[in-house]
């Protein structure tokens, strides 16, 4: 028998545990003909703000070893245009749509969510309190535990849909932020967003990105992401959606084992746009081979009891 692949966040059921990460899948329409989106647990939209944003000047993307740096600056069409021009297509897809929201004030987050909450076809919200590339909001919110708590509390009052807080790894103890979000009413945590990084052009001795630093993503950050998800999993009861350099079924399984209830595929969508569907299928096959009734049986099953061989004590 095939294992159960679905899982639930705040009464909303998702058909499987594999999502595509915000900013790597546009508004779902750019890859429409390339990818079978009905294989996905859901789509996280590019971050939406109240007004359209042009984003940062070029250069905004640089390839780095096993990853990339970006400084998009939250370029997006704004919530009104999204609702009018993009949501009708997204609604027609056989997967769930999570709207990712970015803002430079608590009021702006609230206003964007309020506008969306009266519309059908948005399954939930992922709140970006962790963009490294903007002056206002972004990381200044995501690295301030009180602010994360305040934003979560205010948004919780406005919606009964799943509220997911996306955290930055650019802090000392990410679990403190996860705990604050949980206490303030979040239904889930997404982790991790990108790590601040810098690339240099040796011919000019200038930074490669126009904003000097940017957000590092891709397989290069996977071990960091696994450690952060593991840390959060020890601290909260709400589900964690693990993100960071997932490039294969095996990578996704590692995130489930350290405590993520679901995963997002980000940077690898640029390499292989259909990879998330392939990974969703791969997880199901693994669970079947392991004779599991439900993929969820894998979550948080890391055996962290390290047994040292007798040889070790003899050597010391």
The distance from CA 75 to its chain's CA centroid, rounded to whole angstroms, is 17
Question: For residues 138 and 296, which CB has a smaller minimum distance to ligand DHB in the complex?
Answer: 138
Q: Which is nearer to ligand DHB, 57 or 88 (CB)?
A: 57
- Looking at the Cβ atoms of 239 and 266, the one nearer to ligand DHB is 266
Q: Just list the catalytic residues.
A: 131
Supply the angle between the helices 222-233 and 249-258 in degrees, to the nearest 10: 30
Helix (H) or strand (E) holding 117: helix 106-117
Q: How many residues does the chain have?
A: 316
CA–chain centroid gap for 221, Å, is 13
Least separation, in Å, of the C-beta of 86 and ligand DHB? 17
Choose between 59 and 281: whose C-beta lies nearer to ligand DHB.
59
Question: Whole-angstrom Cα distance, residue 28 to residue 7?
Answer: 22
Output the smallest distance, CB 18 to ligand DHB, in A.
19
Judged by CB, which is closer to ligand DHB: 56, or 182? 56
Minimum Å gap between C-beta 271 and ligand DHB is 17
Q: For CA atoms 113, 190, 271, 290, give the dihedral sign.
A: negative
H/E run at residue 82: none
CB 101 within 8 A of CB 138: no
Q: How far is CA 30 from CA 72, 86, 123, 127, 264, in A?
A: 17, 11, 20, 22, 18
Least distance CB 82 / ligand DHB (angstroms): 15
Query: Going by DSSP bridges, is the β-strand pair 213-217/67-70 parallel, antiparallel, or unpaired?
Result: antiparallel
CB of 25 to ligand DHB, least distance (A): 13
| Rounded-to-integer distance, Cα 191 and Cα 208, Å | 26
In angstroms, give the least distance from the CB of 104 to ligand DHB: 13
Can you tell me whether residue 139 is helix, strand or coil?
helix
- Per-residue three-class SS string for 228-294: HHHHHHCCCCCCEEEECCCCCHHHHHHHHHHCCCEEEECCHHHHCCCHHHHHHHHHHHHHHHCCCCE
Applying CB under 6 A, the residues found at the interface with ligand DHB are: 23, 70-74, 128, 130-133, 193-194, 215
Residue closest to 232 by CA, chosen among 209, 196, 259: 259
Closer Cβ to ligand DHB, 16 or 49, answer by number: 49
């Amino acid at each position: 028998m095939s294992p159960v692949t679905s899982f639930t966040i705040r009464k909303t059921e998702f058909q499987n545990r594999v999502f595509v990460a915000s900013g790597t899948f546009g508004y779902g329409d750019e890859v429409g003909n390339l990818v079978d989106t009905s294989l996905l647990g859901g789509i996280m939209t590019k971050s939406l703000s109240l007004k359209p944003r042009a984003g940062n000047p070029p250069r905004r993307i640089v390839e780095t070893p096993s990853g990339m740096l970006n400084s998009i600056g939250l370029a997006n069409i704004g919530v009104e245009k999204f609702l009018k021009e993009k949501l009708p297509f997204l609604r027609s897809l056989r997967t769930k749509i999570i709207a990712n929201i970015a803002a430079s004030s608590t009021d702006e987050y609230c206003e964007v969510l309020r506008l969306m909450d009266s519309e059908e076809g948005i399954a939930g919200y992922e709140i970006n309190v962790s963009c490294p590339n903007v002056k206002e909001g972004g990381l200044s919110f995501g690295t301030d535990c009180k602010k994360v708590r305040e934003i979560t509390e205010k948004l919780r009052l406005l919606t009964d849909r799943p509220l997911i807080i996306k955290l930055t790894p650019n802090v000392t103890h990410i679990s403190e932020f996860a705990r604050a979000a949980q206490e303030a009413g979040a239904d889930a945590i997404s982790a991790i967003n990108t790590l601040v990084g810098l690339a240099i052009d040796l011919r000019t001795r200038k930074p490669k990105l126009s904003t000097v630093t940017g957000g590092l993503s891709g397989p290069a950050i996977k071990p960091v992401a696994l450690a952060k998800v593991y840390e959060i999993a020890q601290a909260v009861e709400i589900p964690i959606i693990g993100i960071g350099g997932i490039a294969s079924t095996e990578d996704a399984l590692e995130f489930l084992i350290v405590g993520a209830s679901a995963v997002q595929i980000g940077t690898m969508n640029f390499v292989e746009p259909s990879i998330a569907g392939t990974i969703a299928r791969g997880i199901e096959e693994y669970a079947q081979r392991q004779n599991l009734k439900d993929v969820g049986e894998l979550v948080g099953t890391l055996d962290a009891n390290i047994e040292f061989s007798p040889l070790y004590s003899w050597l010391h």
